[in-house]
Amino acid sequence: MDLKSRFTGCLIGLALGDALGAPFEGSPSGKKSLQYLPPVLHYSDDTEMSIGVTESLIAEKGFNPDDMAERFYKNFNIRRGYGAGTISVLRLIKKGMHWSEANKKVFPQGSFGNGAAMRAAPIGLFYFNDSKNLKEVTYTASSITHDHPLAKEGALLITTAVSEILQGRTKEEILESLLHTSEIKEYQEKLKTVESFLQKDITAEDVISALGNSVLALESVPSAIYAFLKYGEDYLKTVEFCLSLGGDTDTISAMAGALSGAYVGIENLPEEFIERLEDKDKLQGLSLELLERVINP
Ligand code: RVK
Ligand code: MG
């Protein structure tokens, strides 16, 4: 599959997962109907911040944390449903405080919310062939708002998965690589649970109790990875499983949707929903510009 299809599939897959999940945020577990959604599918903070990450990588021809931080607050629209900690950090940065100071003002050890992992996929795209920079950039880009190791590690799992997908790896190889990536015990244990869940018949309730469905990185990134590894060759099935978890549905399905979208390519995403996705042309354009920067640095 060509890189164009994977880059676009990843960014549109993220935004569509976010937009399909947003109406069900905070819901209880159980199957959700996609029949009665509004005509335009609006995305949330997950996509708004992913746009900031992508625009920054394009404009700076690579990673510049100060530029990325500036784009985060310039793009910031409070109606998109940001986490409380991130709202405060972005406001401090806007007032002129450097991000490396602002990121410790709300939570002294940094946030361990999933707000860094939800926007990390474009970093995985940009550095898919550059494992040396992938880790460092993922950590620092996370730190802008989420300085806690659990938040940074969650983001690294997402960028690593994206880069493995772009390299054409099988799902078995991707899981193997993730098991080696994680240096944090809590993530290692959850990924081993993911591995064992893939061998059995597992319900949404099992995933919620063992892996989680909350706004915390440790309680959502492993669930998104499970959804991708279980259902990833079928984008809509992947998203529908994420929605059935309830809780932080938009972010879990944004993360799993980015992975599935990169895996199957844009041609295999559901057209009837993409047509209704807010800013779909802008997102497609950004993904192609990002690829152009990778090919012609
Ligand atoms: C609603 C104690 C901490 C913590 C720490 C808790 C949006 C806080 C997005 C915090 C995302 C929340 C989702 C989320 C998350 C984090 N000590 N508690 N060190 N670190 N928490 O505010 O950008 O959906 O209760 O940084 O990660 O779409 O408010 O937000 O799905 O986790 O919220 O962490 O977004 P934040 P975020
Ligand atoms: Mg959101």
Give the pLDDT confidence of 200-235 residue by residue, as tens digits.
999 999 999 999 999 999 999 999 999 999 999 999
The number of the ligand 1 atom at minimal distance from the alpha carbon of 220 is 31
Amino acid at 278: E
C-alpha 165: how far from its chain's center? 14
Nearest CA to ligand 1 atom 12: 113
The number of the ligand 1 atom at minimal distance from the alpha carbon of 89 is 26
The number of the ligand 1 atom at minimal distance from the alpha carbon of 112 is 20
- pLDDT score, position 6: 98
pLDDT at 42 over 80: yes
Residue 34: band (very low, low, confident or very high) from pLDDT cuts 50, 70, 90: very high
Q: What percent of the chain has pLDDT over 70?
A: 100
User: Are the beta carbons of 153 and 183 closer than 8 angstroms?
Assistant: yes
- pLDDT score, position 35: 94
What residues contact 101, with CB distance under 8 A and at least 6 apart?
92
**Substitution candidate for ligand 1 out of 72, 77, 111 with most atoms within 8 A of CB:** 111
Residue 173: band (very low, low, confident or very high) from pLDDT cuts 50, 70, 90: very high
pLDDT at 186 over 80: yes
Among 133, 242, 275, CA closest to 125? 133
Mean pLDDT of 244-266: 98
The number of the ligand 1 atom at minimal distance from the alpha carbon of 146 is 26
pLDDT at 269 over 80: yes
Residue 16: band (very low, low, confident or very high) from pLDDT cuts 50, 70, 90: very high
pLDDT at 246 over 90: yes
User: Within 6 Å (CB) of ligand 1, which residues are found?
Assistant: 44-46, 81, 83-86, 107, 109, 111-115, 118, 148, 215-216, 248, 250-251
How many angstroms separate the alpha carbon of residue 297 from the centre of ligand 2? Answer: 31
How many angstroms separate the alpha carbon of residue 85 from the centre of ligand 1? Answer: 6
Q: What is the longest distance spanned by two Cα atoms in the chain?
A: 52
Q: What percent of the chain has pLDDT over 90?
A: 98
Residue 1: band (very low, low, confident or very high) from pLDDT cuts 50, 70, 90: confident
Burial class (CB in 10 A: 0-12, 13-18, 19+), 84: exposed
Mean pLDDT of 270-285: 98
User: Are the beta carbons of 98 and 143 closer than 8 angstroms?
Assistant: no
Residue 88: band (very low, low, confident or very high) from pLDDT cuts 50, 70, 90: very high
Over residues 120-165, the pLDDT tens digits come to 999 999 999 999 999 999 999 999 999 999 999 999 999 999 999 9
Query: Mean pLDDT over all residues of the chain?
Result: 97
- pLDDT score, position 11: 98
Give the three-state DSSP class for 183: coil
Distance between CA atoms of residues 127 and 45, nearest Å: 23
pTM of the model: 0.98
What residues contact 293, with CB distance under 8 A and at least 6 apart?
57, 58, 61, 62, 126
- pLDDT score, position 120: 98
Other CB atoms closer than 10 Å to residue 5's CB: what's the count?
Answer: 18
What fold is seen in the domain 3-295? ADP-ribosylglycohydrolase fold (1.10.4080)
- pLDDT score, position 124: 98
- pLDDT score, position 290: 98
Nearest CA to ligand 1 atom 17: 107
Mean pLDDT of 60-68: 98
Mean pLDDT of 268-282: 98
Beta-ladder partners of 216: 113
- pLDDT score, position 271: 98
Residue 297: band (very low, low, confident or very high) from pLDDT cuts 50, 70, 90: confident
Among 107, 129, 122, 17, CA closest to 63? 122
pLDDT at 241 over 90: yes
